[in-house]
Structure formats: structure tokens, C-alpha cells
Homo-oligomer: A and B are copies of this chain.
Amino acid sequence: MEKSVIRQIFDSAQPNSVNLGLGELQFPMPEYLHSHAVKILFDEDIRYTPNAGLINSRQAIATNYKNASPNQVIITNGAQEALYATLKTILNPGDEILLPDPGFSAYASIVKMLGALPKFYLLDERRNFALDNDSLFSQVTPKTKAILINTPGNPSGTALSANELNTIANCCRLNNLFLISDEIYQALYLEKSPPTAYDFYDKTIIISGLSKSHCMTGWRIGWALAPLDLAQQINVTHQYLTTCANYLGQRLCQYAFNDQATQYQRELRAKLRLNYRLFHDIMSNIAINRSDSAPYIFINILQDGFEFAKKMLDYKVIVIPGLAFSQRLTNWIRISYALPEEDLIIGAEILKKNLYR
């Protein structure tokens, strides 16, 4: 496997560049969770937990999903491990899985690592990355095991509608497929809380975590939420991958969904909404797709995105070329607007100047 396009760009970036490329919100974690971390560090032994995670933490996570039991939750070293463990559990060599185009490149990389075959359905860039139904249904074969969706999506920032989720659920039901829904950006919506795939189909596996919703990337806390029997199998895989997630991060899950968390997320979304509008205002005359959810917007720049991204490094601005997400959308770049306002303004102004040249 070659080094990812994203990694190539980051490795060539100058120090102190404005980073519009990160999949990491450049805001601090919730103060009240930080205080809990200090208290736990003083009061408790940092030991192994059960493989699937501390039961109270699994319980707290389960409350986010209608009628879910804590035994459906496996806590992992970030959503990345939840994704790998789920795919490793479901896919055998030779199996096929449908992935979004454009989409997070790690999906296809993991599928290939497992000896399975990625096939791609289209999110239509002309309709703000709405699902292309035909391309979904036409890719299903007897070897298809699962459909993977990412809502709200990377790199588009757009969420699948209830209608679209219904269509996808129907496709899964008709063909007896698992539905894997990566919902790591779910809490970062700008206007309206997007629907979760969990409410549409019983063989759904949700992938999520605290990294984006609570600006806690370095804590490495993610989870898979799956039907009970599948959850047990994912837990066995997870056991051999990493034994268990780190104790301190797991403990914080217990406080991550209470009233104070809700308040933190409300303020975070308000900030992200302002940033999004600010970016739109600066880019005024450039057509930009809608983003339903931070941190991403995907922009058609009408020129090669990889060359443009490399050129922007000279101006100390990091953006990610569309090539990282799609073989088709090479004239696009992905922008993250989840950074302090002053940095966003600097970055957007430089970006705009160079797009007009």
C-alpha cells in the first residue's frame, strides 16, 4: 500500500501553515470532561478493562441509540479500530462491499487489506452528493456482504436524508446485507440533527466516537454498535487487535452525554455555523456545495486538485485534493472550517486569491 495522498500533503507542509486540511477540530475538549479526567487520574487505578469496555461507559453510549443495550457496544481505540474490527469480522477474502464515491480512502484500503473487493456507488456531485440509487442497486452481486455509508459524509459534509436511508435499508433488506454506517460527524450538524441509520434497519452497525463530537481525537475513544450476536463477534476480533481501549478515555464516556455535554455541543455547533457562514462570505463568487455538518466542505475548483494543493503549500495553506476521496473528482478539494476564526479568515483569503488567478 502506498502512503496516502493526505499524508503526502501533510508531510510536505511548512511549519505554521494554516491547516484547512485536518480531520481534527482545532478547538479544546469540554472543560468539564477535562476536570473529570483529572479527578479520575487521582482517584482510580488505570487498569485493563473488559475487552468490550467498562459497562457503565457502554451503557452511556447506548443511551444515544433507541432501545440499544450496552451489550451491543464495543469501545475501541478510536472509530478507526471500530471500522477495522467490524470489516474484519464481516468480510471474508473474496467478499464484496459497496463504498461511497467520494469517500474516506481508508475504507477501500482496509477492505483490500482483508482480501475483499471494494465496489463503489456514487454520491452525485451535481445534486450536492445525493445518493445515486441506480449505481447502488446495480453494484450488488451475490458476493456482496455489506453497504458502507458515511453520514454526514467525508469529504462532502452532506448528510443522507431519511428518504435516502430508506432506499439504502431496502437495498440491504432485499439482498440480506449488513449496513455499516460511519456516523462520526453526526453531532457536528449545522442546522438540523441528521437521521441515524440505526433507526432504519436492524442489521446496522454504527461506527462513532468522541474524537469529533467532543474534540477529543488524542483520547482514542470510538465504538461499534451492532446487533447483539454480531457485537460479540466484533468483540472477539477487537480483543485480538488491541485487548481494550485506554481506561481514562473510556471512563470519560460516562460523562460525555449528559446535560453539560449537550450544552458544550450546542456552543460548538454555533461556532461551526459561524465559521461556515464566514467561509461562504469570503468565497462569495465561488460556487460551493452545501455542507450539512462540520468540519468539511468539498469544492469544485475547475483545475487539478492535487497540483493546486501542492501549490497552496507554498502559501502555507493546507487543503486536501479530491483524489484522496475519489478517482473521479480530481478537480475538487476538501476544506475543513473547524478552526479558530482568525486562521480560517487568513486561509480562506489566500485560497480565494489563488482560485481567481
Contact = CB atoms under 8 A, between A and B. Distances in A.
A225 to B, nearest CB: 18
Classify the secondary structure of A's interface with B: helix
Interface string A10-37: 0000000000000010001100001001
Nearest to A241: B84
Interface stretch (A117-125, A244-252, A305-313, A339-347): A244-252
Contacts of A249: 246
Interface in A67-113: 76-78, 80-81, 84, 88, 93, 106, 109-110, 113
A34 B24 contact: no
Interface range, A side:
35 or more
Contacts of A24: 47-48
Interface string A228-243: 0000000011011111
Contacts of A38: 38, 41-42
A46 to B, nearest CB: 4
A191 interface: no
B247 A78 contact: no
Contacts of A78: 242-243
13 contacts: A24-B47, A38-B42, A47-B218, A77-B245, A84-B241, A84-B242, A106-B239, A110-B240, A113-B237, A218-B247, A218-B248, A219-B247, A219-B248
Given A45-B218, A106-B240, 10 more contacts: A4-B239, A34-B41, A38-B38, A47-B217, A81-B241, A81-B242, A218-B246, A218-B247, A219-B247, A220-B245
Minimum-distance CB pairs A-B, first 6: A218-B247, A46-B218, A77-B77, A220-B246, A77-B242, A80-B243
